[in-house]
Amino acid sequence: MQHHLILRVITKMLVGTIILFAFYVQFHGDFSPGGGFQAGVIMAVAFILYGIVFNLSKVEQVFPPWLVHKLVALGVLIYAGTGIISLFLGYNFLDYDALNPHHPSHGQHWGIMAVEFGVGVTVTGVMVAIYYAFAGRPPPMKDEDW
């Protein structure tokens, strides 16, 4: 039951830190290397690590598959929604100037933040969904089953 004690303890310590780092990469992406894609992968790593060290059913309690799928869709909606908002404000699709017409560079700043957040959400979801799909595969067929 209590195999790999060190791994378990270290993992529990690391998971929170990894998530924190993911948020840092996400929201500091405009001043330092990073952005939505990297942040999404790092965020997913936290869950995948948890799933590897404990097991699939444990991580699925924390982050249920239905929620993963909704997040995948939500991220795309955030991205496209940002574009749609600028449409409604009378600007071209994804023209972030619309978000702050009096100070376009601020508008660009907010727009890219929103879009990157969408990317982050989707990438997290997709990465975790891929892990679930592979880890949840039934074991290969045995010779007797043929």
Partner 1 sequence: MSTVEVQHVAKTFIDHLPVLQVVIPLISAPLIVFIGNRKLAWLLAMAASATAFVMACLLLAQVKDGSYISYHIGGWAPPLGIEYRIDALNALVLMLISGIGTIVLPYAYNSVNAEIPKRHHTLFYALYMLCLTGLLGMVSTGDAFNVFVFLEISSLSTYVLVAMGAGKDTRALTAAYDYLIMGTIGATFFVIGLGLLYMATGTLNMADIADRIAEQGTNRTVQAAFAFIVVGMGLKAAMYPLHHWLPNAYTYAPSAVTAFLAATATKAAIYVLLRFMFSVFNPGFHFEDWTLYLIFIPFSLLAMFAASFVAVFQSDLKRMLAFSSIAQIGYMLIGIAMLNATGLSASIVHMVNHGITKATLFLGVGAMVMYSKTSFFDNLNGLGRKMPFTGAAMVAAGLSLIGIPGTAGFISKWVLVQAAFENGWWFIAVAIMLSSLLAVVYVWRMFEVLYLTAPDEGCTATDPPLPMLIPMLILAGACIWFGFDTELTLGSARVAAEGLLAGSAGMAH
Residue 94 interacting with partner 1 (CB under 8 A):
yes
The amino acid at 61: Q
Least gap, CB of 123 to partner 1 (angstroms): 14
Residue 96 interacting with partner 1 (CB under 8 A):
yes
In degrees and rounded to multiples of 5, residue 134 shows phi and psi of -75, -45
For partner 1, the binding residues in 59-78 under the rule CB under 8 A are: 69-70, 72-77
Least gap, CB of 87 to partner 1 (angstroms): 6
Is the separation of the CB atoms in 79 and 119 below 8 Å? yes
> What is the distance between the alpha carbons of residues 8 and 46, in angstroms, rounded to a whole number?
13
**Choices 5-13, 21-29, 42-50, 96-104; region in contact with partner 1 by CB under 8 A:** 96-104
> What is the distance between the alpha carbons of residues 28 and 10, in angstroms, rounded to a whole number?
26
State which residue, 18 or 82, has the beta carbon closest to partner 1: 82
> What is the distance between the alpha carbons of residues 108 and 56, in angstroms, rounded to a whole number?
41
Q: Which residues bind partner 1 (CB under 8 A)?
A: 69-70, 72-77, 80-81, 83-84, 87, 89-97, 101-104
